[in-house]
Amino acid sequence: MKPMTVVGNWKMHTNPAEARALLRDILRGLTHLREIHGSGPWPRVLVAPPFTSLAACQETLRDDEFAETVWAIHLAGQDVFWEAEGAYTGAISAPMLLASGCREAVVGHSERRRIFRETEEEAAKKAKAALEAGLEVFFCVGEEEKERERGETLAVLRRQLEPLWSLLPEGSQGRLAIAYEPVWAIGTGKAAQPQDAEEAALFIREEARKGGYPGDLPVLYGGSVTPENAGAYFQVPSIQGALVGGASLKAASFLGILEAARKGAEGSS
């Protein structure tokens, strides 16, 4: 059975009250789905709220109402800085994420790379620091539209991944996943073809092997995933989940994607 992970990236949406309400709706929906379908195979579910809403989400997860379902959801940071503490205004460290209830962090999202000018080396340093501190890392890579048109997709993925392999600390195995997120597919409604996602995933795994990463490396797809198209990604052999932006902001659509992941895992058994 293929293990699946679905990450909801809430980006710069939801104040604490909105985050609490959204998480409650997701938890209630999950409880309901579990009543219908039993205990599995459910995907691992992560939500990455803005840092300022992590405390509200942590409180929500402690609510007795969700005692039966709470194990099913983890909180993740949307980003993480490479130093543990110091004079870095606006930055959030891995130990801070851990203390705020996160077990995972998204690193190198294309919005960080593009808008905040984060370099490949910086993304790799962030991943290293997060892994060293004990977080699991979802490391994002993906090409721009022009790069795809020029046939440079695989070269871009290699360039983005390269600094990572030499920086990975001992014991990272099983705590790193790659999210293949073509930039042109993020928030545009122009999702990649499942076959292209499969090709990218196979390439990423091969790069990991060449880079000396031991063992299996899960690859997720991200870019305009919806309840309607999610099943097609979960059916291709090398995709083990999804990173979801827009469709994670409504409980109904996020739950639809979780349901598709459950079916995808079931179908692969």
Residues making contact with ligand PEP (CB under 6 A): 9, 181, 186-187, 222-225, 243-247
Q: How many CA atoms lie within 13 A of 240 on its CB side?
A: 20
Nearer to ligand PEP, 29 or 108 (CB): 108
Identity at 125, one-letter amino acid code: K
Residue closer to ligand PEP, measured from CB, 69 or 136: 136
Distances in whole angstroms, Cα of residue 229 to Cα of each of 47, 141, 221? 20, 21, 12
User: What token pair was written down for 9?
Assistant: 């990236």
**From the CB of 216, what's the least distance to ligand PEP, in Å?**
23
Residue 159: how many other CB atoms lie within 10 Å: 13
Closer of 13 and 37 to ligand PEP (Cβ) = 13
β-strand pairing of 136-141 with 73-77: unpaired
Q: Which amino acid is at 145?
A: E
Residue-by-residue DSSP string for 210-243: HTT--S---EEEESS--TTTHHHHHHSTT--EEE
> Nearer to ligand PEP by C-beta: 169 or 187?
187
Closest-by-Cβ residue to ligand PEP is 245
What residues form DSSP beta bridges with 255? none
Compute the least distance from the CB of residue 84 to ligand PEP, in Å: 26
For the CB of residue 171, give the shortest distance to ligand PEP in the complex, in Å: 27
CB 253 → ligand PEP: shortest distance, Å? 10
Residues 122, 136, 143, 181: which is the catalytic one? 181
Is 109 one of the catalytic residues?
yes
Please confirm, yes or no, whether 37 is among the known catalytic residues. no
Please identify every residue annotated as catalytic.
109, 181
